[in-house]
Chain A
Amino acid sequence: MRTSRPDQPFRAVRHQSTSALALDSALEATAADEPYDDGTDHVRFPPLERLPNATKLPSPLPERALTSAKLAALHARLSLPQKLPLQTLARALVDISADENPLFNNVNLAFVGQTITHYHVAEWLMCRYPRLPMTIMYAAMKAYAGDETLHSVARSWGVESAAEPGGEVDSGLLQFSMYKPVSHIGFGYGRKDNSRVEQGRWRRGIANRVLFDDDFGEQIGYDTRKKAQIPTSSQRTFSYGTEETRAAAERAHAAAVRAVVGSVYAHCGREAGKAFIRAHILSRTIDVSTLFEFKSPVVELARLCQREDFEPPVARLLSETGRLSRTPVFVVGIFSGKDKLGEAVAGNLDHARYKAAMNSLKSWYLYSPGENVRVPSEMLVEGSKAWEPTYIDIGEIIHG
């Protein structure tokens, strides 16, 4: 499989069927015209079998999907319905960096898949945790359906990647190129100039992020991990095992998973797509309570109690030990009237108070109507029960 490919530009239009034969013969002729002698003794080491003509294509032909054992195994392993043809599954494994032709790569399927996935994840999060602030919502969305997560989903499916894409590669391998990456593909509303935001000239608040940017509230074409513009392909210098290759692999794996979701939706329908997302994406466990970061939890909690007409929160010492020792332990609870809102343990009275206020706020934000909460998309099924409005919170706590 490992072949070093000649540095030839991709053809803009690729033909299949009969015209492909003519193209192949033309390519063969050019290859035969350039005999290359590297000094090998061809009597002792006879030349290898000639590579098939498909080598010249950027990705394998669709009909080769029917003979790929890896692809059939993946289809069976994911319990995909027979309605989903192997050719579509093969196409879902061709990244845009392998084949730029939109008729043969997975961009269209990935777009459908991402839209469906994000719809179901967002809907479920909103019904399950109706009080989540928007930043936490974005983080939770990314934790469920971000590139890193979908990368591990693809790895758990047993999707293997080819060292280098090409027409001769098995159709069951994920094909993407780390060395010839295309510009980052993000589905969302891109900004005209990301550098303005970097310089702090353009404010990028939450409402702004809802309007622009992608579904995770991140700027398109902007690497949040490195806090820099994603370099274009001409600016990159690649070596193996760098952050760039890792990111390229993550993007390609994630696009493949999204494309599989999109193909399930396209071939098998809405409910099958939803069941697939529930089984492979929403079934993953993530502790939402670890996503929070507070700046002034005490003030925020007091504002919350003021807004909801509760008594002002009071920190009370529930228990303590070793106050005069090197390692004291204080258990502090926050009470509003007679009701305890939260408690925390720390080795310091102030820290225990802050932590207890944070826990109280988390238990406010993480209110959930139940584990198996109904979501609006359930109403699309024929004969479903009458819809009861879900709980919608009045909004986030605003404090100075």
Chain B
Amino acid sequence: MEAHLVRRPVASCCCRLLQSAASAAPASGSGMQQLISASKRLTITASPAAAPGGARFKSSTSRTKRALNVPPEPSFAKRQDKTTGIIFNPPSSSPSVFNTPFKFLPKSDPRRRANLPSLFTSSTTTKFGPTTGLAGPSSITIGNPPESDDPTLPPAVDPAADIARYRTEKLAVTPEMVAEIRRLRVEDPWTNSGVAMAQRFNVSHSFIRYATRGIRVQKEYYDDLKKWKEDKQARWGPRRRQAREDRARRLGMLFRGEL
């Protein structure tokens, strides 16, 4: 009986739900509630006594207009509380790439002299962190907030927190370490994968890639890798395959500026 109820037509389920929601919270006043009441006004059947023929439709213009006259979403209204939240409505238009940021202006550009306040607030002369030669590649991921993050700036997007951890430790990379990484990789590429060695030597995965560039491991490893990849992909169904292809295509479109 329960299963039968679940498989009911959507419209009748909706009616029942909406009516119950309206009766449960009649004075909530939220945007959802307004939407619900609007849709109720549009579609929900009235009492059987009022409309013996079934649903009452909005056949006239004024009824339709009244039914669709939904007040705006509350976040569009002027903010009363200035405490929390980072929603700005309406959003500003996206800036043009032809407006060169102050930092990118060359020293000889007259706009640099014309905008003296920016010259003092900008931090163009600051060095790019500690450059330890070989450790450079581990510090090239956007998303690592600096150690002392400025509280006046917006929060950092941090999708690569693990890489940020590697960077903050500032491990000095020695030539011996690089030689060891290369040796281990040639010796047993199955065990000493990029991720495994990144954890072992406490550097980033991309640094392992840089360090092991140009070495040749045994040919079976590449064959195994290829077979492993093909086996994995053979298990994908059509939907997963399609989704992955679409994702790759979207990324390509993004890099070409088509999205």
Interface residues of A (CB under 8 A from B): 289-290, 292-295, 297-299, 301-303, 305-306, 309-321, 329, 331-346, 349-355, 357-360, 362-364, 366-369, 391, 393, 400
A367 adjacent to B105 (CB under 8 Å): yes
Given A306-B128, A343-B95, residue A358 in contact with residue B255 (CB < 8 A): yes
3 closest Cβ pairs, A-B complex: A337-B123, A362-B97, A302-B140
Minimum Cβ distance to chain B for residue A16 (Å): 54
A311 adjacent to B105 (CB under 8 Å): no
B106 adjacent to A293 (CB under 8 Å): no
Q: How many residues on the B side are at the interface (Cβ–Cβ under 8 A)?
A: 53
Contacts of A358 in B (CB 8 A): 254-255, 257
B126 adjacent to A311 (CB under 8 Å): yes
A349 adjacent to B157 (CB under 8 Å): yes
A316 adjacent to B155 (CB under 8 Å): yes
Minimum Cβ distance to chain B for residue A351 (Å): 6
Q: Does B142 contact A (CB under 8 A)?
A: yes
Contacts of B137 in A (CB 8 A): 400
Smallest Cβ-Cβ distance to B95: which chain A residue: A343
Q: Give bound CA distance, A145 to B99, whole Å.
A: 26
Smallest Cβ-Cβ distance to A316: which chain B residue: B154
B 98-135 binary contact with A (CB < 8 Å = 1; else 0)? 11111111101100000000000111111111010000
Minimum Cβ distance to chain B for residue A390 (Å): 10
Contacts of B155 in A (CB 8 A): 316-317
Smallest Cβ-Cβ distance to B210: which chain A residue: A400
Interface stretch (choices B34-42, B52-60, B145-153): B145-153
Q: Give bound CA distance, A318 to B155, whole Å.
A: 8
Smallest Cβ-Cβ distance to A339: which chain B residue: B103
Which of A319, A351, A391 is close to B106, meaning CB atoms less than 8 Å apart?
Answer: A391
Which of B104, B127, B140, B257 is close to A341, meaning CB atoms less than 8 Å apart?
Answer: B104
Interface residues of B (CB under 8 A from A): 86-88, 91, 94-95, 97-106, 108-109, 121-129, 131, 136-137, 139-146, 150, 153-157, 159, 210, 250-251, 254-257, 259
Q: Interface SS of chain B: helix, strand, loop or mixed?
A: loop
Given A302-B140, A362-B97, residue A341 in contact with residue B157 (CB < 8 A): no
Minimum Cβ distance to chain A for residue B128 (Å): 5
Which of B109, B140, B144, B154 is close to A299, meaning CB atoms less than 8 Å apart?
Answer: B140
B94 adjacent to A315 (CB under 8 Å): no
A314 adjacent to B100 (CB under 8 Å): no
A314 adjacent to B143 (CB under 8 Å): yes
Minimum Cβ distance to chain A for residue B206 (Å): 8
A318 adjacent to B154 (CB under 8 Å): yes
Smallest Cβ-Cβ distance to A306: which chain B residue: B128
The 12 listed contacts between A and B (C-beta, < 8 Å) are: A293-B257, A305-B128, A317-B157, A318-B154, A345-B91, A354-B254, A358-B254, A364-B104, A367-B100, A367-B106, A369-B109, A391-B108
Contacts of B131 in A (CB 8 A): 306
